[in-house]
Every structure is written in structure tokens, then in C-alpha cells.
Chains A and B, each alone.
Chain A
Amino acid sequence: DTGVSQDPRHKITKRGQNVTFRCDPISEHNRLYWYRQTLGQGPEFLTYFQNEAQLEKSRLLSDRFSAERPKGSFSTLEIQRTEQGDSAMYLCASSLVWDSLNSPLHFGNGTRLTVT
């Protein structure tokens, strides 16, 4: 079981730089989710995909954020012109196809972003 893989595990960047994170979901999962988590808080929903279609974006996702899942497999999350408030753990999760209304999410270990 390869699980959900996220890369990189840690990213330190200077304010104003662009960063891109990658998520590889479990291979047979067609739903992919991005969440953001700050210290001491629960994960906050950002966006999710069904195959390559992006179905919903949270209001938390400003115009500086963009997510893609071009072939319905891996996904990327890009943050442009990073701000210190973007510092957080970015979590990716995927879910199984067969019962998508009652499916647990399988999470990766996240990418921890620090904006200096």
C-alpha cells in the first residue's frame, strides 16, 4: 500500500516567491482533496477534484492559489506571491470510488510551508 504521497515534506520560502506542491493519491481513488492546517487547528477545506474536474473551491483559496489535476492522477497546488500568512501544513487526501458518499479520506503526511 503506497498511500498518499506528498512532495516536498518541508518548504521554506521567502515572502513573494511562488511555491508548488505535489500530491500523488492512491491509484484507484478518483477524488482528491486539499486541506490547510495551522498549528493547533483542524484542517480547513481548500478544494477538491473528481478525476480532473475541480468541483469546489473554498473562499479561503484566494486568486494567488491554484490547483490542478491535469490527468486525473496527481495534483499540484501552487501559491503565487507567498505571504507569511500562508505558512501552514498543506494536506492532500484521496478517497475511494465505490462509495463516495460514505468514504474515509486517506491523507498524506503533508507539506509544511514556512514563509519568511
Chain B
Amino acid sequence: SQQGEEDPQALSIQEGENATMNCSYKTSINNLQWYRQNSGRGLVHLILIRSNEREKHSGRLRVTLDTSKKSSSLLITASRAADTASYFCATAIIIQGAQKLVFGQGTRLTINP
């Protein structure tokens, strides 16, 4: 079963605008990761935020984590047409000393030129 729920399921914005995607989860986590997937391709890791971190930045990406609310958000600033993709959050739980990632259903982002 998938632990994460993402909101919205689809998002369409104009190039240059900011895009915000949200992720909620159910159980305690070790870290939370965001991935991007272009159509028909594998997933590409974007950013990892540990359970004791609240905010992290990477280029145009900003991720927040609120463990009390069991939620995270991904902000993409100054969006570009090339950002069009599906974005997934994945929660990391530890099983037998190794992390297992459980993915949400994703947000389909479309950037209109």
C-alpha cells in the first residue's frame, strides 16, 4: 500500500510562476525524498530531507517537512517548461537496518509556455 498522499493530483501553471506540491504520510519516517519522473522514464532524485530537518533548498527547489503534521511540501520557483513532469514524494522507513521507500501517487505538473 502507498503511504503518501499528494495534493494536488494535477497542477497546470504558466511558465515563470511558482509551483507548490504537498505530501502527507501516515507513519514515522527516517527521511522524506522527492523524485521527478518524465513520461516513460525512470525516477530522478531531487532532494532528501531528514526527519530532524524542517527546510531544505536546492537551486529552485525548496522542501519543507512538518513531522508533527506528517506533511511535506515541494516548491519549485520560477517554473520552466522543462519542469513539466510527475513529482513523487517518498517516505523512508527502516526495515532490517535498511531504508525502504514508500511512494505517493504523484502530482502531474504541466508548465505552459
Contacts and interface: CB of A to CB of B under 8 A. Distances in A.
Do most interface residues of chain A lie in helix, strand or loop, or is the interface mixed?
strand
Interface string B39-53: 011111100101000
Interface residues of A, number: 29
Interface in B58-108: 88, 90, 92, 94-106
Contact of B105 (A42, A50, A95): A42
B98 A100 contact: yes
A106 interface: yes
Interface of B: 2, 4, 30-31, 33, 35, 40-45, 48, 50, 88, 90, 92, 94-106
Interface of A: 4, 31, 33, 35, 40-45, 48, 50, 55-56, 91, 93, 95, 100-110, 112
